[in-house]
Amino acid sequence: MAKADKINFTTPSGFPEFLPGEKRLEVYLLDTIRGVFESYGFTPIETPAVERLEVLQAKGNQGDNIIYGIDPILPPNRQAEKDKAGESGSEARALKFDQTVPLAAYIARNLNNLTFPFARYQMDPVFRGERAKDGRFRQFRQCDIDVIARRELSLLYDAQMPAIISEIFTAIKIGDFVIRINNRKILTGFFQSVGVAEDKIRSCVNIIDNLEKIGETKVKQELDKIGISAEQTQQIIDFIKIDGTVEQILNELKNLTEKMPEAEQFKLGVTELATVISGVRNLGVSENNFCIDLSIARGLNYYTGTVYETTLIGHEALGSICSGGRYEELVGMFLGEKMPGVGISIGLTRLISRLLKAGILDVLPSTPAQVMVVNMQNELMPTYLQVSQQLRQAGINVITSFDQRSLGKQFQLAEKQGISLCVIIGTEEAKTNKAALKDLRNREQIEVTQEELAAQIQKRLS
């Protein structure tokens, strides 16, 4: 056949794709994450990849992000009917760049068909014009959960988040991690109490948020730039560096509230944090897996209470692998309603790519098949097909080898795909309803009846 000439068939820059073993790893992680989300009653939703541009840009939502508008391209033979296509004249549309704005739109669209508190998860891809040089992708998957209430939202929802994070990262076995918990009200309350002007508090939060990235000296310079005095800066730095066990920090915070009886915001933050920590403990999260870190600020402006970041111990350079927090004025934006919520997000695509590179995770075998039924001779194919079906009915994933090649070649093909077990049936075995089961890992081979085959395979797979 003629080759399609000169076509650049590579993926567009920033839109990578996975090989089967990588995609299978992603599927496994998505399944695991989903299982934990669902065990806490989070329900799946999916919003369209495409939203009206005015929705994506509402209230400055676009932020610093480059987003992708979409425009219909008619096929060559239909250029004439542009007006009939039902596409021209339609509003500007673009690909969603996160799950938050679409969640707000989803709630506005379906308000009367949802039950509150509404606990949902969402794991579909989002699109952003990220610069490839930053090792970021232009299409990537975020695994987000949020619980949204119409009036009050219990702080115990905040406490569930570290339990969920902890279960997920324990299940996927990526080593030791610590969930660092803080409360924005503590930070902003402290800034107020040392005399930072209201209009500078947001900037202060953003500067503090960069502490790990830019270091203490730079933070001091930045604070100085926006007019925070050297004394205030020192107080802030001393405060966010308060270290110790959860108990020690909570005690220190309680002592501070007594010293600052007028710092209402600060006091409220400390009470909230103590409530969340108590919930986290009642939910059985291991003391090794969480801490209080008063330097955690989260740059995003919408957080108003609890904030989280998660650090993989020994791989701090990866940055936070799961973050989130509580907000008040985010998902009600299209309704003009205050809807408190708390949520976390795992940037799965980026995380997989970094964990693979760091050697913390490994790809899966390139096929889900666990067994290959080899082809000894075409005449026995009816037996091979029947035995394959019998194994599938027992829940085993099977490839039947249809091509007649040497046994060695067939074993090679199995091994190349990560299949370790082969079922071999020759004329003799077929006559006596038997089969040989070969384990390619140790080259051991046993003879079993076809009836026992599934059980023998399951034993070796477990």
Start-end of H helices in 241-301: 246-259, 264-282
Counting contacts by CB under 8 A, is residue 377 touching a copy of itself?
no
Of 251 and 397, which CB lies nearer to a copy of itself in the complex structure?
Answer: 397
Angle between helices 155-171 and 20-39 (to 10 degrees): 150
Least distance between a copy of itself and beta carbon 268 (Å): 19
List 286, 403, 443, 462, residue binding a copy of itself (CB under 8 A): 403
Least distance between a copy of itself and beta carbon 388 (Å): 8
Stretch that binds a copy of itself, among 187-195, 293-301, 327-335, 445-453 (CB under 8 A): 327-335
Q: Which residues contact 66 (CB under 8 A, 6 or more apart)?
A: 128, 129, 130
List 206, 271, 417, 456, residue binding a copy of itself (CB under 8 A): 417
Counting contacts by CB under 8 A, is residue 284 touching a copy of itself?
yes
Counting contacts by CB under 8 A, is residue 156 touching a copy of itself?
yes
100 assigned to a ligand binding site: yes
Q: What's CA 369's distance to the chain center, in Å? A: 26
Q: What is the torsion angle, in degrees rounded to the nearest 10, for the CA atoms of residue 198, residue 200, residue 203 and residue 204?
A: -80
78 assigned to a ligand binding site: no
Which one-letter DSSP state was computed for residue 456?
H
Question: x/- contact string, 204-243, with a copy of itself (CB under 8 A)?
Answer: ----------------------------------------
Cα diameter, the chain: 91
**Which long-range CB contacts under 8 A does 382-390 form with residues at least 24 apart?**
383/425, 383/430, 384/425, 387/423, 387/425, 387/435, 387/450, 387/453, 390/450, 390/453, 390/454
Least distance between a copy of itself and beta carbon 408 (Å): 16
d(CA 422, CA 446): 11
Q: Within 61-100, which residues bind a copy of itself (CB under 8 A)?
A: 62-78, 85-87, 90-91, 93-95
Question: x/- contact string, 11-40, with a copy of itself (CB under 8 A)?
Answer: xxx-xxxxxx--xx-xx----------xxx
Least distance between a copy of itself and beta carbon 431 (Å): 18
Of 252 and 328, which CB lies nearer to a copy of itself in the complex structure?
Answer: 328
Of all helices (H) and strands (E), which one includes residue 144?
strand 143-148
Counting contacts by CB under 8 A, is residue 399 touching a copy of itself?
yes
List 32, 50, 302, 426, residue binding a copy of itself (CB under 8 A): 50
146 assigned to a ligand binding site: yes
* DSSP β-bridge partners for residue 148: 118, 341
Counting contacts by CB under 8 A, is residue 203 touching a copy of itself?
no
128 assigned to a ligand binding site: yes
Of all helices (H) and strands (E), which one includes residue 387?
helix 381-393
Of 72 and 314, which CB lies nearer to a copy of itself in the complex structure?
Answer: 72
Residues recorded for the chain: 462
* DSSP β-bridge partners for residue 180: 291, 309
Which one-letter DSSP state was computed for residue 193?
H
Counting contacts by CB under 8 A, is residue 445 touching a copy of itself?
no
Stretch that binds a copy of itself, among 202-210, 239-247, 377-385, 441-449 (CB under 8 A): 377-385
Q: Within 418-437, which residues bind a copy of itself (CB under 8 A)?
A: none
d(CA 65, CA 296): 23
Of 62 and 234, which CB lies nearer to a copy of itself in the complex structure?
Answer: 62
303 assigned to a ligand binding site: yes
Counting contacts by CB under 8 A, is residue 120 touching a copy of itself?
yes
d(CA 401, CA 415): 13
Least distance between a copy of itself and beta carbon 48 (Å): 4
Burial (CB < 10 A; 0-12, 13-18, 19+), residue 217, is exposed
Counting contacts by CB under 8 A, is residue 43 touching a copy of itself?
yes
List 99, 103, 127, 189, residue binding a copy of itself (CB under 8 A): 127
CA distances from 432 to 62, 169, 383, 387, 454 (A): 70, 49, 12, 14, 17
Sign (positive or negative) of CA dihedral 312, 185, 155, 301: negative
Render the burial of 186-212: b for 16+ CB within 10 Å, e for the rest. Answer: bbbbbbbbbebeeebbebbbbbbbebb
Counting contacts by CB under 8 A, is residue 139 touching a copy of itself?
yes
Least distance between a copy of itself and beta carbon 321 (Å): 22
CA distances from 270 to 96, 183, 206, 250, 426 (A): 36, 8, 20, 8, 73
Stretch that binds a copy of itself, among 156-164, 226-234, 420-428, 433-441 (CB under 8 A): 156-164
List 171, 230, 313, 385, residue binding a copy of itself (CB under 8 A): 385
Cite the annotated binding site for L-histidine by residue number.
98-100, 128, 142, 146, 298, 302-303
Cite the annotated binding site by residue number.
98-100, 128, 142, 146, 298, 302-303
